[in-house]
Structure 1
Amino acid sequence: MKFKHRLNTHVQAFVELKKTERLWHFPLLAGLCVGLCLWVGWLFDRPAYGNLSSIGALVILYFTQATLSKRMVHLCVCAFGFSISFALGYAFSFSHILSAIALGLIAFLSHLITSWFDVPPPRNFFFIMIGAVATSIPFHPEAIPLNVGLVSMGAMLSVLLALFYSVFVAKRVVEPKIKSRIKKKRYTELVASFIIGFAMFLGLMIGHWLELKSAYWIPLSALAILQGKDLFHAWQRNLHRIIGTFIGIGITWVMMLSTAPSGLELVFLIAGLQFIVEMLVVRNYGLAVIFITPLTIFLAENASGLHTNVNELMEARILDTVIGSLIGVLTGWFLHHEFLIAKLEKQLRSVEILLHRK
């Protein structure tokens, strides 16, 4: 009976659509931000430029229901964080070991800072994602200003569109009441940041060790699992991500073989997928993953014109997702293991006392 009840719980969680106050305006804005960057890249026959700027445009996902001044400051700071994450990841992409260390550092700082300032969802996710993507880009020292500039311009475009949206569409904004939170111990977030940073480092190193073309998919798959608020939600997100990814890969495989979208078609397809993902992600994560999979694949392969072997691409995504999900679940177990966290906190306190004595 217990197994049947758990199975029914997981099935219901996968198909249930939660109620949300998010209107269709915001998903449309998110799709527009990404789509405009890709469209400009297509217009000037520079799809790679459009890709990089569209990554920066994802800063729109940090749009908050706060007053106009707070919202714009928040978005500008996040845009700056995007640029720093990308610059740090790209600057060390010439070395597998250094790029993995850089990603671990990005993850450590992102989690620590977003936790300290209580940044709402998606919290640390896109800062780490941008750093991970940057580590996979072929390193050319002379291209650092250009690439960082493209990401920054995409981010600032989103900030500008968010300003217009706030002034002309979302005029009436009721700032949400801040819920009282249990204040964590002094070292809790520091320990959690270290664990997440090490998991990202390990995931990328495994990807490089397996000589995967897009090694960053492994740490990103792990990171997606870690967005769960407790161990049960981490397991649930793991299950939903694997099922959703398999379905999404099947849809992507059919789309790439049957229609082979390219050029302007691909721009509208990616923008449309971004709209669907933002409509679903706050309602049902599992269903959103079905569309996140083709979105990320089309976005990643856009610059190359989708010339990659479709079957090899699908096999690689499945392998990346399975390995990353396993790392994510294991890391989630560490993060939610109270005895282990308490022990690590005690070690940190001991180190601090020794340093003060010296």
Structure 2
Amino acid sequence: MRNDQEISEKTHTYLRLLGPSFNRQFVFGIVVIQLGLFGMLPLLAVPFSNEYFYAAVVPAFLVLIWGILQFIAPYRLEKLHHLYVGVSGFALTYIYFLVTQKLIYLHIGATHIGYFIAGLVLFVLLLVAMWKTNIRYLFEGSYYDPNKRHLWGGSNQLIVKASGVGYVLGQVLLSIVAGDSITMIIIILCLSLFAIFTAFMGTFVHRYWYIHQNIEAVRSLNPGYSLPNKDRAPGPTHGYAVLVLTEKDYDTDEVDEHINDIIDNVEDVEIDTITFACLPEMDKEERKPLEEALPNQVLQAPGYVLFQFEYEEMKAAVKKMEKKHHNGFFKKIPSEKYAFTQDQVALQPKNAILYTNDLRNLDQGTLGTGTSSR
């Protein structure tokens, strides 16, 4: 794909351009939790070993110093964020490998070099398997899920499961063969699970390369991408949603056809959500708030209600929902949950700005020149 071509929505989802604010939080987690707590702290703990510590110093120093720069200037260094995450993923996976070897040799008491060789082979195989699986998922389009908003979900979880099971089992078997310390086996199990995630982070090197190869197309979607915060144009504060009132329940083909008609007729702004409701099946309690918000209108099917909502309110509601479900860490958040949360915010009666029975009039509401119900 060349720079002058458009990036598809599937590819845009794969790149995960989550913004400088999220990037800064992620960098903090890498440096403090993944590097400090789970990486260097075990290497500094007794019994201390110069060999293991010095073997980890260079990659740890790179992750730390680079991370500080990314944390200080997340806007200017936005393009480098993917590269930093990828390099950190490789470095942290290597450091966790060293920690595991220290536990096997210095805590469990293994002496044979075979444990080191087997651990090294597992380490390399994990990185290779994760990388190849990532590329396969990209070309299959398996990353695409228009309702997902955060990193840890959908196909990302499948990659981790597919590539990491063998690594975890291998490390646990090594620790069991080397000794019978239940505590050390549990710790090695936990480190192996962390290594799966850091190995997945290594795939972000490919994402950085993808962005570098298509930087103009990326900036066409995100004009302020990788610019200092002061040079970025403020984004839109409001979004639009359409509630389609129908005479009957539509099947999938009818819904798709109607959505295309709406998109074709509203050219000046992007409609964020389109929801269908069968008017005869709506009870009085459902209709009453909408009728009160549209006092001079009689709801009829087919009819179209245009809503204007605040993005910040939408983001806050989605974030609250994700927090309630532990950000999808233990179980993938169903796409229906995202759609329901978005509709709750967007389709509030107070947000209704236009009602019409003519699809062609929807564009007037987005321009502020139509017949408003207010």
Fold agreement, TM-score > 0.5: no
Q: Which has the higher contact order (CA 8 A, sep 6+)?
A: 1
Give the TM-score, by structure 2 length: 0.27
Bigger radius of gyration, 1 or 2? 2
